[in-house]
Structure 1
Amino acid sequence: MAPSIAIISTCIEEWGGSEELWGRSIPILQAAGLGIVVYKDRINRQHPRWAALARSGVRMFDLQTPKWKFFARKALLRMRKRYWYESSELRRAFTHRLSADRPALVVIAQGINFDGLNYAQDCIAAGIPFVVICQKAVDFYWPQPDQRPGMIKALTEARKCFFVSRHNQALTEEQFGIRLRNAQVVFNPVDRGVGPVPYPADRSAYRLACIGRLFVLDKGQDILIRLLARPKWRDRPVELTFIGTGVDREGLAAMARMYGLTNVHFAGQLADVRASWRNFHALALPSRSEGLPLVVLEAMAAGRVVITTTAGGSQEVIVDGVTGFIGDTGTESFDGALERAWQRRDEWEAMGLAACRDLPNRLPDVAAEAEFAKVLISIVHE
């Protein structure tokens, strides 16, 4: 039987940007003769990306019991004076799949830099090699003292620790107080060579897109609403559209209504974000924490100026004042970056084109998914 690679995703969305790296690597891995199996708490098989994976022959398993079964079992165990924790259920299901599938390698795709390391410890116990992908590291969210020893063991025993920005690697090493000799930076994948999207001809209003999960703890969308409520921004022809879904949509919409902002819109999830750039002049992303946002790379590839923060690795691809505008995290600093951008709004089109031209210089020569797949293949065949 051909060796297989198991991928476990901790992404809480149906399909998130954090899944693009491993998702795009699958055809390359399959072409190398490797079978692929993916585990996740719940998989929406109707989602276009998951449906495409199924058609390509990828096996998929839900780790989480359907909700009605989960609550029925929880009630039964309570009657027996026992308790059932969902996290325990996920790990039990994961170890069962490891035993049944015996993959040659496990890829632990994390949303943050340690939210999947329990699974790494299960791999260690099962004697199965693994790699981890760290999609984000957060300055204000550190591992708990009792978790640190197991997490350090998981990180150091991984065959590779992949980080999507140098910032994330450096912060992770600081948080654990170790140098990760097995670390490798692999940016998230972006389509290359497609060229810029035509810039909007209408400049009667400057239309900003804020793309990403509606989750203010990470993405900071509340900062944009707070700023647009200030008198100087109310008096300017600015339109803001949030693209994406998430738990904070209702709260953000209520905040915008409270301030009486009629220039703030919610577009939901768009099927073709690249095509939508025909309607927007710039990306505004006031993130509090990040990896290297895929939307930043996509906006630059589309020829749009990016206004963002120092969170994560955006400053590793953007030259402040040349191909975009960067401020520190927080309302006042982002206001400064947005103000600098506004004063140079007549240059946005030219700066966006410069960003599109410069982006290949900021990325490795080899596409991210190809580089990632090459490392996985070499580990399997060692």
Structure 2
Amino acid sequence: MEIREQTIAIVTTCGDDWGGSEELWSASACLLKERGNRVVVCKAGLPRKHPKYVQLAKKGVELCDIQLKTSFVRRVVARLIRRAAVWRPNETIPGFAQTATVRQFSKYLSKYKPDLVIVSQGINFDGLGYAYACLRKHIRYVIIAQKAVDFYWPLSTDRNLMKEIYDKANKCYFVSKHNLRLTEEQFGLRLKRSQVIFNPVKISRPVPFPTMEPVIHLCCIARLFILDKGQDMLLRILSKPLWKSMPIHITFIGRGEDEVALRQMASLLDVQNITFLGFKTDINTVWESYHALILPSRSEGLPLTIVEAMRAGRPVITTAVGGNAELLTEGETGFIGGADELSLEAAMLRAWEARDRWEEMGKKAALYVGKMIPEKPERDFVNDLMSMK
């Protein structure tokens, strides 16, 4: 039976107000609403005043904050109840499935009685508690995983229940082949109802390539979070005399919790051929000034910045983590190194030596990504949901 004129709940685990991981579900929410469905979005600490959420609300999407807000008196009473052992968590169920936000989300499930829940995860198991709440209430659910990390595996105490949650999902969506493969390996489970999907992008056509004289400009578009994005590796490379002497400038575009640390590191290492530009919304205008993307990631899903750079007609210098290399061909549309300084610098040197070919490589990148990435990935995603049995 097709899902039509039903209640669709979406729960997101994004810890920031907004991020690239939110683009797919938000675009899908609008499309689902346009098709006559009731759409409810749930998030812990939901920022109602954020422009993206304001836009969703204007389109009729209902917003629910599942972060408990209790008075001082109620917090004291709850603490006393716990100490008196009136309420104890079920010790046979892992903690990830019994958090306060999961319990609050479960209440919203009882209130709205959705026909389907979309669990949008930043990493491949950080939202499974919400999926478990659906499983307990016999509500259909699908899982989106925006990232899987080679060095971050589920706890042994959580793994069996998480495996069951994945196995019983109506469908599991991943943004890269790497994420799907690694998730299967982490849980020792073939996910037969799984699919690789893409996130929507903000660039629809190539942006004219700027002149490369007298300075070559690269940009690093990413959240300033070194554990995932690896900007510290790039700064160490740029601190070497060779790179200080080159006519090259790198701009960091984005914000994040490590911005101060990165600025201070750059000052310590006397790296002067860089700029921290902050967050920019008009990505088309950004690419008018830059010749290539550099992304020194330690872990990824499939970054929107890579797809957008390729669609803008720019080569990409990046690391072979997550799905970074799945759209790139070494020496033709980009340059791929490992997630370490030695290998990343080698990729940067190969790129530098081939800089006269960057414009042509960018044209190839735009043609390739235009064939591989749907114009409206959210439409394909929603169509798949609507035809689900």
TM-score grouping bracket, smaller chain normalisation = over 0.9
- Partner of 2:256 in structure 1? 246
- For 1:318-362, what per-residue CA distance to the aligned partner results, in whole angstroms no more than 9, with x for missing partners? 111101111121111111111100111121122112111111232
- Partner of 1:231 in structure 2? 241
- Partner of 1:260 in structure 2? 270
**TM-score, scaled relative to structure 1:** 0.93
Change in Cα spacing, 1:72 to 1:276, as seen in structure 2 (3 Å) is farther
Q: Does 1:135 align with 2:146?
A: yes
Q: Does 1:372 align with 2:381?
A: yes
Structure 1 distance, partners of 2:128, 2:285, is 37
Taking the TM superposition and a 5 Å limit, the aligned residue runs for 1:1-382 are 2-66=5-69, 69=70, 73-74=74-75, 77-78=78-79, 82=83, 88-191=99-202, 194-364=204-374, 367-379=376-388, 382=389
Give every structure 1 segment of 4 or more consecutive aligned residues whose post-TM-superposition deviation is greater than 3 Å: 69-87
Contact kept in structure 2, 1:274 and 1:298, CA below 8 Å: no
Give the stretch that moved more between structures: 3-12 or 77-86. Answer: 77-86
Q: What letter corresponds to residue 183 of structure 1 in structure 2?
A: S
Change in Cα spacing, 1:76 to 1:259, as seen in structure 2 (3 Å) is farther
Q: What letter corresponds to residue 271 of structure 2 in structure 1?
A: L
Q: What letter corresponds to residue 185 of structure 2 in structure 1?
A: E
Structure 1 distance, partners of 2:346, 2:73, is 53
Contact kept in structure 1, 2:222 and 2:253, CA below 8 Å: yes
Q: Secondary structure of 1:236's partner?
A: coil
Contact kept in structure 2, 1:109 and 1:116, CA below 8 Å: yes
Contact kept in structure 2, 1:29 and 1:377, CA below 8 Å: no
Q: What letter corresponds to residue 386 of structure 2 in structure 1?
A: I
Structure 2 distance, partners of 1:334, 1:109, is 31
Structure 2 distance, partners of 1:25, 1:93, is 24
Contact kept in structure 1, 2:244 and 2:273, CA below 8 Å: no
Contact kept in structure 1, 2:212 and 2:291, CA below 8 Å: no
Give the stretch that moved more between structures: 107-116 or 274-283. Answer: 274-283
- For 1:251-289, what per-residue CA distance to the aligned partner results, in whole angstroms no more than 9, with x for missing partners? 111110111112222111112122111111111001111
Structure 1 distance, partners of 2:77, 2:267, is 45
Q: Secondary structure of 1:270's partner?
A: coil
| Number of residue-to-residue matches in the alignment | 376
Q: What letter corresponds to residue 24 of structure 1 in structure 2?
A: A
Structure 1 distance, partners of 2:351, 2:141, is 44
